[in-house]
Amino acid sequence: MGAFFDAEDFISEALDSIKSQVDPQGKAIIACSGGVDSMVTAALAARAIGDRLLAVYVDSGLMRKGETEEVEAMMKHMGINYRIADSADEYFSALKGVTDPEQKRKIIGERFIRIFERYARESGATYLFQGTIAPDWIESGDGVRDTIKSHHNVGGLPADMNMKLVEPLRDLYKDEVREVARILGLEASERQPFPGPALAIRCLGEVTPEKIAIVREACFIVEDEIKKASKEGKCELPWQYFAVLLPQRSVGVQGDKRAYGYTVAVRAVTSIDGMTSNFSPLPMDVLGKISVRITSSMKESVNRVVYDITSKPPSTIEWE
């Protein structure tokens, strides 16, 4: 990867490969999450097969602040066929009472496939494009390593699914996908990675609309403060930066009263491809601002903020 990768060559080979995999009249569907992987895949697919591609954005209710609007704007700008699947209720009821991380991932993966099947049936698509990249399948234990996490892009494809899978980015690493995105002129090229299971795996334990609202706001604050600090030259923009809501409550003080609230962990890492990472050495004043902003904007629910100072390995980037 990296030095020997030629993005222009990759694009022309990928277009030929897609054309050879999809029948001349064949219709296809893709889930666009707004992340660089799915947007590059959609752009390549649309270039190769045009209007025969339908892009579906699943609004799971687990996405970041303003994300649905942003992704819709990107799809419009790309000029592709798209639909928005409003599915928050479906996800929250499927996740009710579930606390095990792997089970959460499996449920989310399955929901996603079921919703897709509905759209695929309606559209007559017989091909499913996915933005799977190399670390996704390596880490999902495709015979290479033990299963660390069931990645959303890989797990849960039911045996009876009547669509052929097309994965043009399967051999690429993240930095290579970004290079391709830049050449294709996609706004998604500089977006930080965001996992398929979305905020559900940043909300440890049971996922509820209330907890998702907390972690969504905390993620927004972390992103906003770190972007600001990087623009002011206080730090490099980390590879990935977000908040995690812990299920354990702890004692604090609010005014002169005892508080018993949740803890938010801030995670910011440097990495090349997500396979390994180090925690970012963020300046203390940036961390301090994040802490004050989170605890003051969510007084009722959060009274403690901590910074995750582990590298991968031994931890992983996401907490679930």
Q: Give the single-character DSSP code of 143.
A: S
What tokens were used for 159? Answer: 């045996």
Alpha helices in 132-208 (DSSP H): 134-139, 174-184
E-state strands within 32-123: 53-59, 82-86
Q: Which stretch binds ligand XMP (CB under 6 A): 46-54, 92-100, 149-157, 217-225?
A: 149-157
Does residue number 130 form part of the binding site for ligand XMP (CB under 6 A)? no
- Binder of ligand XMP out of 34, 101, 156, 197 (CB under 6 A): 197
- Is 117 a residue that touches ligand XMP (CB under 6 A)? no
The verdict on 156 binding ligand XMP (CB under 6 A) reads: no
Note the Cα 310 to chain centre separation in Å: 21
Q: How far is the C-alpha of 220 from the C-alpha of 239, rounded, in Å? A: 16
Per CB under 6 A, 168 contacts ligand XMP: no
Q: In angstroms, rounded to a whole number, what is the distance separating the alpha carbons of residues 246 and 196?
A: 20
Tell me the window of 160-168, 259-267, 281-289, 310-318 that interacts with ligand XMP (CB under 6 A): 310-318
The interface region with ligand XMP, picked from 52-60, 85-93, 193-201, 219-227 by CB under 6 A, is: 193-201
Please work out the total of residues on this chain that contact ligand XMP, with binding judged by CB under 6 A. Answer: 16
User: Which of 22-30, 148-156, 203-211, 282-290 is the region at the interface with ligand XMP (rule: CB under 6 A)?
Assistant: 148-156
Residue 63 to residue 108: CA distance in whole angstroms: 13
CA 269 from centre of chain:
15
C-beta separation of 125 from 45 below 8 A: no
Minimum Å gap between C-beta 115 and ligand XMP is 16
Which is closer to ligand XMP, CB of 61 or CB of 131? 131
- Binding residues for ligand XMP, per CB under 6 A? 136, 139, 149, 151-153, 193, 195-197, 240, 274, 312, 316-318
